[in-house]
Chain A
Amino acid sequence: GENVEQHPSTLSVQEGDSAVIKCTYSDSASNYFPWYKQELGKRPQLIIDIRSNVGEKKDQRIAVTLNKTAKHFSLHITETQPEDSAVYFCAATDSWGKLQFGAGTQVVVTP
């Protein structure tokens, strides 16, 4: 089955700096890679996703890159703000849409 690894487990950044989270996956058949943001006690919220036929996608301060050959994908947050503080999860899906999540990255943005 699919195995997703995520690094780092914690990330502290100064407000205004960039944050990068990296994930690798094992199943070459995976074709959809979402990123979720989860604040304490809240539901995971989809913030951006990328499909296997695209190498990069950007939405305002958030971008995701995908390297299918190397089986890794990354989340980039630019100009970080305190409200970006949360746990971020990457995931990869099989053909049914079942998500395999990474272990999560706790991002702390300090003013």
Chain B
Amino acid sequence: GAGVSQSPRYKVAKRGQDVALRCDPISGHVSLFWYQQALGQGPEFLTYFQNEAQLDKSGLPSDRFFAERPEGSVSTLKIQRTQQEDSAVYLCASSLGQGDYEQYFGPGTRLTVT
């Protein structure tokens, strides 16, 4: 089947605008992760879902960041009042869960805040 998909692939936002980033995980994958990757660095954990439950949001950098996965499949990462430091690639990954740790990444959304 299809891999993890993300949309949009590129997003340019003016400082102060709200953005919404979408992730479609692999069908049947229970676990879904969001990561932020700044230029030249490794991905940094943001938040984790098991089905529709958000079990860990310790990596969200501020209360301007919000994520949801209401039906346990598609997830949306929302950033309110974007700041320049939010510019990065936002990666989504999914895994089967339940002890199966292999995570498969989507292509990412490159967010540029001007």
Tell me the A residues contacting B by CB distance below 8 Å: 6, 32, 34, 36, 42-46, 49, 89, 91, 93, 96-104
Contact = CB atoms under 8 A, between A and B. Distances in A.
A19 B1 CA distance: 34
Contacts of B35: 99
Interface in B63-114: 91, 93, 95, 97, 101-108
Contact of A99 (B41, B50, B55, B103): B103
Interface string B45-64: 10010100001100000000
Contacts of A36: 105
B101 A44 contact: no
Contact of A43 (B31, B50, B56, B106): B106
B25 to A, nearest CB: 13
A89 B43 CA distance: 9
A101 B91 CA distance: 13
B104 A46 contact: yes
Interface residues on B, range: 20 to 34
**Interface SS of A by simple majority:** strand
B102 A99 contact: no
B44 interface: yes
Given A44-B91, A49-B102, A103 B41 contact: yes
A99 B107 contact: no
6 contacts: A6-B42, A43-B107, A44-B91, A97-B48, A97-B97, A99-B33
Contacts of B103: 34, 46, 97, 99
Contacts of B33: 97-99
A42 B107 contact: yes
A89 B42 contact: yes
